[in-house]
Amino acid sequence: MKKIFITGATDGLGFMAAEKLIEQGHQVVLHARNKTKAEIVHQKLPNAKAVVTGDLSSISQTYKIAEALNRLGTMDSVIHNAGVGFKEPYQETEDALPHVFAINSLAPYILSCLINKPKRLIYTSSGMHEQGDTKLEDLLWDKKKWNAAQAYSDTKLHNILLAFAVSKRWPDVFCNVVSPGWVATKMGGAHAPDDLEKAPETQIWLSSSEEKDVQISGQFLYHKRPKNYLSAANDTQLQDRFIDFCESLTLIKIP
């Protein structure tokens, strides 16, 4: 039995993963954006170990999520599942950051830095990362040039850069990144072509299995198998540039 934390667990793939892991007997800590969503998801999954609340678009609330989780002890696995989609309109957070960057890119960085180091880390990317900007020239995007699909693609590249950077810094942690596919969740839309049932399987497997095949790190996976990804993500200088930028915004370093 493992203790597993899942961000964005109130619906979609996060909820599906949580439901399966609880059925398997694991102690699952859920994350919800606010108290109302927390109450609803706890009613749906009453056997969850706990629910922590906080808006990942807010730096201060993301800090509090990490603090609340650490009070519950050290997790065996953390699944960074939360995210907003490729149709997200331009909007700024209370920290004057683009909403999509704050949730998709910066929140996983903050939580990675502040949560007690788990044994396993799973980040969530997308096939759209292949259209991500490998120059990292405009990480926060010019509002006048806003392109929602490009911004989303950029953040999904950021997730790979973060996962690979953390895997190098923490050789004692199994740290990987997953593409669940384009599936018919609220984010993906009703006409998404990939298999919804298979979409959370890799996250469940990496976070809970005792198979030797999960004892890997620095991998990009799709349906439990390595998948080709943008080769630029292997560039350690690019990884460090992203990490340094996140550090400059938050004033916290990866331990």
Tell how strand 225-226 and strand 220-222 pair up. antiparallel
What tens digit of pLDDT does each residue of 168-225 get?
999 999 999 999 866 546 665 555 556 667 889 999 999 999 999 999 999 999 999 9
Segments in 34-98 forming alpha helices (H): 35-44, 59-70
Structure confidence at residue 53 (pLDDT): 98
What tens digit of pLDDT does each residue of 112-168 get?
999 999 999 999 999 999 999 999 988 888 788 899 999 999 999 999 999 999 999
Boundaries of domain holding 119: 3-250
156 in any annotated domain? yes
**229 catalytic per annotation:** no
Q: Decide if 49 contacts 9 (C-beta within 8 A).
A: no
255 in any annotated domain? no
Structure confidence at residue 86 (pLDDT): 84
Tokens describing residue 97 = 């950051």
Number of domains composing the chain: 1
92 in any annotated domain? yes
Q: Which residues, 6+ apart, have CB-to-CB distance to 25 below 8 Å?
A: 1
147 in any annotated domain? yes
**63 catalytic per annotation:** no
CA distance 126 to 90: 20
What tens digit of pLDDT does each residue of 11-25 get?
999 999 999 999 999
211 in any annotated domain? yes
Residue 51 sits in a domain of what CATH number?
3.40.50.720
Exactly one of 123, 156, 222, 229 is catalytic; name it: 156
Structure confidence at residue 141 (pLDDT): 87
What's the pTM value of the predicted model, to 2 decimals?
0.95
Exactly one of 2, 3, 123, 152 is catalytic; name it: 152
207 in any annotated domain? yes
